Amino acid sequence: MLKLSKTQEECMSHTLTDKAVSLMLELLAIDSPSCHEEHARIDLESRLKELCSTVQIDEKGNLLGRIGATAGHQESPTVLLCCHMDTVPSAVGVKPSIADGILRSDGTTALGADDKAGIAAILVALEHVVSRGMPHGPITVLFTVEEEIGLEGIKALDLAWLGPVDRGYILDARGPVGTAITSAPSKSDAKIIFHGKASHAGFAPEKGISAISLAARAIDRMKLLRIDEVTTANIGTIHGGEVTNVVCDRCEVTLEVRSSTRERVNRHLAHMEFCCIKAVNDFGGSYEFLPIELYPGYRIDPSAKELTEFAGICKRIGIEYRTAPTGGGSDTNILRIKGLPVITLGIGYEGAHTLGEELAIEQLGTLVRLVTALVESEENIT
């Protein structure tokens, strides 16, 4: 392959960055909150068909594309590139702008760089690799659904349908490009339903048991937010009552707990249930405590092959390699528990899920360069 001069490489890098920005703006214009990814999927299916030999959609709505190896590289490792198509509800109706090299929304919505920055980088990098005939092994592209509501898309994935994966990269974490996530928490949600006793709030309030008071007493006893170095807990919603003149007889609370291990999560859930028991002892009434595990956590040994290979790729193309833990889950949580050697990568955005979410354009360009290196055959990037 023709070797580019430094000036030509810089020009090419600017061109790819511009393409990634343009594509990302197109993707941001397509609303795709969890469970409503259909418009994004239609768009991405069309784009993948221009790059891939086969494109498929499973029953859950996950989108899969395959690019066959170039001649002489059929035995090279199969590389998986994965992002989720859905966004949090606050990233709907995005009005993006670019100022001082930073891509942001207008402040009324989240941006949706989580995870559309990853999708844009994958598509631009693969178009570059394919159009220039760069040597590469087999490539699998997976765009999942319903990641933001508990990794539901990846949970439904049939590994036989996915096929072999020798190296996998999930582009879905905050932090500078070159960051590999080495640990992620286990997470459980829970619903608590407090049952009181209805009574007229003016005529006979003493005959009632307020389910809202039950909930308030229980929550007041709970250890919440930052529990310790590896554990967090949060009350998400409280719903109870319909009118002011009736003692509320039902109040529903939703919560989550995250920690480094399933055992730690379960221990804190037990503490929260004990607080419910104490509240019922104080006021009467009853409760239902309904936990559900959303995903298991993981920790990757620093010497693991998938990390050392990624570190080597970063070094070859001049990107600083970093490792970091995360407090959030990703499709990696499910794929690793199923035995796949995948890692989550930082893709440059900050402030995900907030109105202040932003992405440096320079980071998006670097991400395209990294994805290109992830799929190229080694001898082409040495």
Active site members:
86, 147
d(CA 242, CA 287): 19
Name the maximum alpha-carbon separation found in the chain.
89
- Let me know the angle formed at the C-alpha of 256 by 253 and 262, rounded to the nearest 5 degrees: 135
Q: Which residues pair with 292 in a beta bridge?
A: 189
Strand order from edge to edge, sheet including 250-259: 225-228, 231-240, 250-259, 186-195, 286-295
Q: How far is CA 382 from CA 2, 235, 316, 317, in A?
A: 14, 51, 7, 8
**DSSP class per residue in 82-103:** EEE--B-TTSSS---EEETTEE
One-letter amino acid for residue 130 of the chain = V
d(CA 108, CA 97): 12
Length of the chain: 382
